[in-house]
Structure 1
Amino acid sequence: MTLQAQLDAFKTDFEAGKPPYNVPPSVIETMHRATAELIASGAAGRALKAGDRAPAFTLDDPDGKPVSSAKLLAQGPLVVSFYRGVWCPYCNMELQALQAALPDFEALGAKLVAISPQTAVNSRKSVRQNALGFPILSDTHNDVAASFGLRFELPDYLVELYKALKNDLPSFNGDPSWTLPMPGRFVIGQDGIILYAEVNPDYTRRPEPEDMLPTLRRAASVAA
């Protein structure tokens, strides 16, 4: 089953209010409203695209060790996936799909990192819960996400809904702001130029990991 098929199946059950979710229709309507408004804002169109230069970054892994994009790019192309947090089931399914594709990335000489605004404790939970073999990096305040054009502020009505659902982003992220990254996937070449970019303001939609393989093969052939 493809990643998107898994996401669609989960979304169908979640929005139907099936156990164990039991989500009332009013909650679903609020989530749909927020997604529609983010799409209409055109924010995704302002994110970095293929051909743009990727911002350099250094972020801490769950053990507090700094991970530098420059050092990773010295070894090969870099796949970067921005996600919302361990509390997001869609993100966890995406991380698992990326883990399954990791051997294919590594065979082409590429490194993979995932970036979220969550604290190190929650990043460790992401790694453990999804049995990940690649680094999860903490992007405090979503500053790196902002440099890629992904950061957005949640509208007040969505903040109130999250609070009612006990989804306390300031606690998850160690940051008082209510911001998140739009899910984004990038392949960065060793020269720092973005070779592949996929950003979607609808967090229930994610590209297949395999979609990046043609780009990685071309990068590998150039490096050879």
Structure 2
Amino acid sequence: MKSSIFLFLLITTFTYGQIDLKPLKIGEMAPVISGTDQFGKSINSTEILPDQKILLIFYRGNWCPHCQIHLAKLQDNIVEISNKKVKVIVVTPETVEKTKETSNKWEATYSILHDTDNKIMEAYHVAFEVNKMNVPNYFEAVSKKVAENNGMDNMVLPVPATYLIGNDGKIMYVQFDPDYKNRSDFDEIKKYL
């Protein structure tokens, strides 16, 4: 029993333990989110929050199968979420062209922001560098995809986290897991709306 627990901890550490980030906590003030979405619309959280909550989702890229599934589920739930007076903002390090490609692929009606200089990801404590220590599995394949989609000078990915921000600007819900396969569940999020 002890050896199986040790083996699990060892595998978990080598697979995800190098991404040493601490998420923002429930009750903290959310950093400002600003940028231009794939439709050319200017987005600023300080203008949105008095009237709507914000569901903020970080995704790695449209090359990631887990991101594709998550974004498809988001679009399936968008009407119900939006009807609760919630603005959905999705943030990625992908280039503007790739955000438009993602939007078209999923017929996204939510806003997708290219995170210029990784500012939003850093403010929300989700940004990490793509290197052999942080991405021990599939490093070559992931680094190639990141370079293609983010540009050669931006080898950064987000932990695919989700934050729900209340009208008062405080964080109400956090899903944060360095294991890129684990994503927020929209049925769970709806309980907080």
With the length of structure 2 as denominator, give the TM-score of the two structures: 0.84
Rounded to whole Å, the distance in 1 between the matches of 2:192 and 2:142 is 40
1:134 to 110, 125, 149: 110
1:205 aligns with 2:174: no
Q: Which residue of 2 aligns with 1:186?
A: 163
Q: Which residue of 1 aligns with 2:7?
A: none
Q: Which residue of 1 aligns with 2:37?
A: 61
Q: Which residue of 2 aligns with 1:84?
A: 60
Rounded to whole Å, the distance in 2 between the matches of 1:53 and 1:151 is 19
* C-alpha distance after superposition, 1:65-95 (max 9, x if no partner): 4211112213211101001011111101101
Whether the aligned pair in 1 keeps the contact of 2:98 and 2:149 (CA below 8 Å) is: yes
- Range moving further from structure 2, 199-208 or 173-182: 173-182
Return closer, same or farther for 1:183/1:165 CA change in 2, 3 Å cut-off.
Answer: closer
1:148 to 116, 124, 129: 124
Counterpart code for 1:118 = E
Whether the aligned pair in 1 keeps the contact of 2:159 and 2:180 (CA below 8 Å) is: yes
Paired residues, what number?
Answer: 183
What secondary structure sits across from 2:60 in the alignment?
A: coil
Alignment of 1:42-53 (within 5 A): 43-44=20-21, 46-53=22-29
Counterpart code for 2:170 = I
Counterpart code for 2:56 = V
Q: Which residue of 2 aligns with 1:115?
A: 91
Structure 2 unaligned spans of 5+ = 1-9
Shift of 1:34: 9.6
Shift of 1:64: 4.1
Whether the aligned pair in 1 keeps the contact of 2:131 and 2:139 (CA below 8 Å) is: no
Whether the aligned pair in 2 keeps the contact of 1:159 and 1:178 (CA below 8 Å) is: no
Rounded to whole Å, the distance in 1 between the matches of 2:82 and 2:11 is 37
Rounded to whole Å, the distance in 1 between the matches of 2:38 and 2:66 is 21
Whether the aligned pair in 1 keeps the contact of 2:15 and 2:137 (CA below 8 Å) is: no
1:97 aligns with 2:73: yes
- Higher helix proportion: 1
Whether the aligned pair in 2 keeps the contact of 1:35 and 1:201 (CA below 8 Å) is: no
Sequence identity of aligned pairs in percent?
Answer: 27
Rounded to whole Å, the distance in 2 between the matches of 1:34 and 1:163 is 20
RMSD value over aligned CA atoms? 2.5
Q: Which residue of 2 aligns with 1:170?
A: 147
With the length of structure 1 as denominator, give the TM-score of the two structures: 0.73
Whether the aligned pair in 2 keeps the contact of 1:118 and 1:139 (CA below 8 Å) is: yes
What secondary structure sits across from 2:175 in the alignment?
A: strand
Structure 1 unaligned spans of 5+ = 1-32, 217-224
Shift of 1:136: 0.7
Return closer, same or farther for 1:99/1:165 CA change in 2, 3 Å cut-off.
Answer: closer
